[in-house]
Chain A
Amino acid sequence: MLVLALLGGVVVSLLHGAWPALAHFKFGFLTREIWNPVTDEFGALAPIYGTLMTSLIAMLLAVPLGFGIAVFLTELCPGWLKRPVGVAIELLAAVPSIIFGIWGLFVLAPILQRHVQPWLIEHVGSLPGIGRLFQGPPFGIGVLSAGLVLAIMVLPFVAAVTRDVFETVPDVLKESGYGLGATTWEVIWQVIVPYSRVGMVGGIMLGLGRALGETMAVTFVIGNAHRVSASLLAPGTTISATIANEFTEAVGDLYTSSLVALGVLLFLITFTVIAAARFMLLRLDRRALSSA
């Protein structure tokens, strides 16, 4: 009961706090790039863009990696190695996000700035099309770095869920695949993956929900610049980083209220993603129950 009330309370109080800003800017709040505390003008476009972009990068990197880890753990790994590797990956999930942030800022960002980004600018930046994503000076911190740190954070979630789903595949199915002369990869791709697709998507969405809402790790490395720039190397901002950085120093009702309104947006986005993920996993559970 209380749990239910808690969620209701969160929604109501956030809406209450955000109301002045939403009423003042109407739909313009969603589409404007400007963020100027001095003149009391706020628009959410830059944080929304940053949130979606960093999460997109994170998922592009984490999904294939997580898939690979799950394949390794369920199909390839010798039994004695299974537990230590699995536990190590799960421990990665237990590391608090602020640690990822501080690591990203002091270790990852300098490496990116000195070695990776100059190369990207020189070689990929001149290509037509995707080249626009990799232009400008190498700051080290920025949307790309934030995406990378998020990818590392999300990785254990994707890997763990995918592994669990893979393990629900009945052995009979795999054995009949091998019996027909399929290679290991063909069994994985044509038997296991189709069977566990719903669960995998659910796991990926859970990871996505985590990436969207992540605060501290991103705040450290994104650079906190309120603009939308084509280049991934430029500093940007996300919804959660904006709130974390500016909330304690926000003066004026409209400023505070705008930040809370950002919170509402974030809540809506993550709620949709998480609810969809849970729904899919729930369907999977039911299928497992009925087949058992």
Chain B
Amino acid sequence: MTRRHLRKVGNAVALSLSIVATLVGLACLGAILWTLIARGVAGLSVQLFTQMTPPPGSQGGLLNAIYGSVVMTVVGIFIGAPVGILAGTYLAEYGRWSRLSAVIRFVNDVLLSAPSIIVGLFVYEVLVVRMGHFSALAGAVALAIIAVPVTVRTTEDMLRLVPQSMKDASTALGAYPWRTITSIVYPAARSGIVTGLLLAIARVSGETAPLLFTALNNQFWSKNMNAPMANLPVVIFQFALSPYKDWQQLAWSGALLITLAILTLSIIARLIVSALPGGKAGR
């Protein structure tokens, strides 16, 4: 074979390998979704949404776990979002070029990818040990800490997309910086910030590790933020590892629910972003 042939063959081999790689990646996603649906749908019923988690061997649903997950996510976002948005505003507007914001940005990026179990340990040390017991509140705080870096990042990116000329116009009319930010920048970046929040919710609602030793779990209906509370991820974790068939079935159904919810959220977020002028910047 001539050198020319070798090069051609090498080219074809390498390129087909890259197509294979893509197919493998897609196959993984397909396989996971398919198993989830195949195993999860069997357990989908009205009971799932109306009854408590059962003891092994009897009928039941996931109502208390769903409720707990929603409550803790909402509280977590309520604590985390304002902090995240304010910090993002600082980075994008007030301290755009300062040394301090470079440091904060770096630390935020580190937090963004820090293992979530570390966050759980931290909240355990700070809240659970001090309060003397596990509580839903501690779980919500852990989720908030995970939500903060996500919101900081997206808020900053979105605020930067607002054209400088709009801000200049506002300043020229005699507005103070806070006035410019609240009545010009925020409205202009609103859909972007909402996207960031959606992404944060998607990220937070699937988290298991930090809840293991903050919110713990609860077999029963509990509305008390100060006591352990059931939540979907931890229930899935415990039920999937249990030897009882009906518990495992519930775990699969729960897994299907949570995945569908999260995928829907991320797809909505993506749609909002692609509808924005300026396109991909928020990814």
Per-residue CB contact flags for chain A residues 263-279 toward chain B (1 = under 8 Å, else 0) read 10011001100110010
Per-residue CB contact flags for chain B residues 208-222 toward chain A (1 = under 8 Å, else 0) read 110011001000000
Residue of B31, B119, B126, B208 ringed by the most chain A CB atoms within 10 A: B208
Could you tell me if A88 and B262 are in contact, using CB atoms closer than 8 angstroms?
Answer: no
Closest B residue by C-beta to A93: B266
Could you tell me if B121 and A95 are in contact, using CB atoms closer than 8 angstroms?
Answer: no
Could you tell me if A69 and B118 are in contact, using CB atoms closer than 8 angstroms?
Answer: no
Could you tell me if A215 and B115 are in contact, using CB atoms closer than 8 angstroms?
Answer: yes
Which residues 5-43 of B sit at the A interface, judged by CB distance below 8 A? 7-8, 10-11, 14-15, 17-22, 24-26, 28-29, 31-32, 35-36, 39
Complex: A216 Cα to B255 Cα, angstroms = 13
Could you tell me if B212 and A247 are in contact, using CB atoms closer than 8 angstroms?
Answer: yes
Could you tell me if A98 and B236 are in contact, using CB atoms closer than 8 angstroms?
Answer: yes
Complex: A210 Cα to B109 Cα, angstroms = 13
Could you tell me if A96 and B259 are in contact, using CB atoms closer than 8 angstroms?
Answer: yes
For the complex, is B72 an interface residue (Cβ under 8 Å from A)? Answer: no
For the complex, is A195 an interface residue (Cβ under 8 Å from B)? Answer: no
Residue of A85, A244, A275 ringed by the most chain B CB atoms within 10 A: A244
Known: A4-B107, A6-B145, A91-B266. A183 touches B10 (CB 8 A): yes
Complex: A183 Cα to B4 Cα, angstroms = 10
For the complex, is B178 an interface residue (Cβ under 8 Å from A)? Answer: no
Per-residue CB contact flags for chain B residues 140-161 toward chain A (1 = under 8 Å, else 0) read 0000010011001000000000
Within 8 Å by CB of A69, from B7, B15, B21, B207, lies B21
Could you tell me if A14 and B118 are in contact, using CB atoms closer than 8 angstroms?
Answer: yes
**Per DSSP, are chain B's interface residues mostly helix, strand or loop, or mixed?**
helix
Binds B, one of A42-50, A152-160, A168-176, A227-235: A152-160
Could you tell me if B115 and A68 are in contact, using CB atoms closer than 8 angstroms?
Answer: no
Per-residue CB contact flags for chain B residues 254-275 toward chain A (1 = under 8 Å, else 0) read 0100110011001100100000
Known: A13-B126, A99-B32, A103-B36. A3 touches B148 (CB 8 A): yes
Closest B residue by C-beta to A8: B107
Within 8 Å by CB of B117, from A9, A102, A185, A263, lies A263
Per-residue CB contact flags for chain A residues 97-113 toward chain B (1 = under 8 Å, else 0) read 11111110111000000
B268 to chain A, nearest CB (A): 12
For the complex, is B282 an interface residue (Cβ under 8 Å from A)? Answer: no
Could you tell me if A155 and B25 are in contact, using CB atoms closer than 8 angstroms?
Answer: yes
Which residues 241-289 of A sit at the B interface, judged by CB distance below 8 A? 243-244, 247-248, 260, 263, 266-267, 270-271, 274-275, 278, 282
For the complex, is A30 an interface residue (Cβ under 8 Å from B)? Answer: no
Known: A96-B233, A260-B125. A212 touches B115 (CB 8 A): yes
A114 to chain B, nearest CB (A): 16
Could you tell me if B233 and A213 are in contact, using CB atoms closer than 8 angstroms?
Answer: no
Which residues 197-241 of A sit at the B interface, judged by CB distance below 8 A? 206, 209-210, 212-216, 219-220, 240
Could you tell me if A2 and B83 are in contact, using CB atoms closer than 8 angstroms?
Answer: yes
Write out the residue numbers on chain A whose beta carbons fall within 8 Å of the beta carbon of B229. Answer: none
Complex: A91 Cα to B29 Cα, angstroms = 8
For the complex, is A10 an interface residue (Cβ under 8 Å from B)? Answer: yes
Residue of B110, B122, B248, B266 ringed by the most chain A CB atoms within 10 A: B122
Closest B residue by C-beta to A64: B21
Could you tell me if A94 and B25 are in contact, using CB atoms closer than 8 angstroms?
Answer: no
Write out the residue numbers on chain A whose beta carbons fall within 8 Å of the beta carbon of B241. Answer: 105, 220
B114 to chain A, nearest CB (A): 6
Complex: A13 Cα to B124 Cα, angstroms = 10
Q: List 9 A-B contacts (CB under 8 A).
A: A2-B87, A7-B107, A68-B22, A69-B22, A88-B26, A91-B29, A103-B35, A106-B248, A244-B117
Other than the given A99-B259, A212-B115, A260-B121, 19 more pairs (CB < 8 A) read: A9-B122, A9-B126, A17-B121, A67-B18, A67-B21, A73-B22, A92-B32, A96-B206, A96-B208, A97-B208, A186-B11, A188-B14, A206-B113, A210-B113, A213-B113, A219-B237, A220-B240, A244-B212, A278-B110
